[in-house]
Amino acid sequence: MEDASQDTIGVLVVDDHEVVRRGLLAFLDGEPDIDVLGQASSGREALELLASMDNEGRRPDVIVMDLQMAPLDGIESTRQVRALYEDIEVVALTSFGEQERVHAALEAGASGYLLKDSDADDVAAAVRAAHRGELQLDPGIARRLMSSLRQRPGDDPTSELTSRELDVLRLVAAGKPNKQIATELAISERTARTHVSRILRKLRLSSRTQAALWAVREGLVEVEPGSHQT
């Protein structure tokens, strides 16, 4: 397990539709770099499972999380997962026509989202991207998230960031994964990861996405306005 967790991405699948869980399990298990560590049919079950997995020392790296579930829907589950285990990334799994929920999930700290009519290969790609710490953002959704960030009250938290953390934040905002941040700053990937966690805590944010948007808003980096491309 120790070795495996270095090479492969440990995934937890959370969805209340058994038919979807079976499909995801079959497909993700077929991917050589992905290892499905468990499955849950609700947010509550997922959190219980995570607690026991954490005790056994085999945390997943990425959770593929359906948003419409009970008890405890995917949005609230994402919030709790991100609060309890900041190194676990969440990919939200949503259906067509649930844009509102996507925004809520990203706000809750999901690092990406997948539509339930995506190609199978997109599912694997999203898991890998989340693991690398990459951002996946539709510009329309980015705009929405920016305006929701703006509503958050706060006293200038920029001053709390060290200059190294500001460097890391700029790279996060540029969409760079941890590995690349590590290379550019000549630090280990683990250190880069730690920096990101610390930045999130200081800024009281729950995801890289939000950190990136925050950096854009504070004028640390520029993003190009985009469009809804379908």
Partner 1 sequence: MRWPSLRFAAGVVLLGAAYYGAAKLGQTLRYTASVSAIWPPAGLGIAALYLWGVRWWPGVLLGELAVNGELLLDNSMIPVGSLLGQQAGNMAEIIVGALLLRQLIGPNAGMDRVEHVGGMLVALGTATAISATVGTISMVAGDVVDESDAAVFWRTWWLGDTSGGLVVLPLLLAWAQDPMRAWRRIRTWEGAAVIGGVTALGVVAVSTEEPITYMVFPALIWAAFRFGPAGATLSIAITAGVAIGVTAHDVGPFSQQTIDHRTLSTQLYIGVAAITTLFLTVVVSERERSSRALAEAHRTEGERAVEERRRIARDLHDSVSQALFSTVLHTRTAQKALVQEGATPSGRVARSLAAIADLTKRVQSEMRGLIFELRSEPVHDGLVAALAEHATALRASDGPTIDVRGPGPRLALSQRVESQLFAIAREALANVLKHAAATTAQVRVDAVDGQVVVEVRDDGRGFNPSAGHPGHYGLESMHSRASEIGGQLTIASAPGRGTVVRVQVPAEDGTG
| Contact residues for partner 1, defined by CB under 8 A | 17, 19-20, 22-24, 26-27, 30, 95-97, 99, 116-117, 119-121, 123, 140, 143-144, 227-230
**Would you say 30 or 87 has its CB closer to partner 1?**
30
Give the nearest distance from C-beta 25 to partner 1 in angstroms: 9
How wide is the angle at C-alpha 121 spanned by C-alphas 134 and 113, nearest 5°? 45
| Residue keyed to tokens 């960031």 | 161
What minimum distance in Å lies between the beta carbon of 52 and partner 1? Answer: 27
Q: From the CB of 151, what's the least distance to partner 1, in Å?
A: 15
Closest distance of CB 66 from partner 1, Å: 9
CA distances from 198 to 59, 61, 114, 207, 211 (A): 20, 18, 27, 11, 11
Q: Are 38 and 63 in contact (CB under 8 A)?
A: no
Cβ–Cβ under 8 Å, residues 16 and 70: yes
Residue type, 179: K
* Nearer residue to partner 1 within complex by CB, 163 or 229: 229
Pairwise CA distance, residues 143 & 137, whole Å: 10
In the complex with partner 1, which residue's Cβ is closer, 95 or 162? 95
Question: For residues 141 and 166, which CB has a smaller minimum distance to partner 1 in the complex?
Answer: 141
In the bound complex, what is the minimum distance in angstroms from residue 8's beta carbon to partner 1?
A: 16
Beta carbon nearer to partner 1, 94 or 178: 94
Residues 6+ apart with CB under 8 A from 23: none
Angle at 217 between CA 212 and CA 223, to 5 degrees: 65
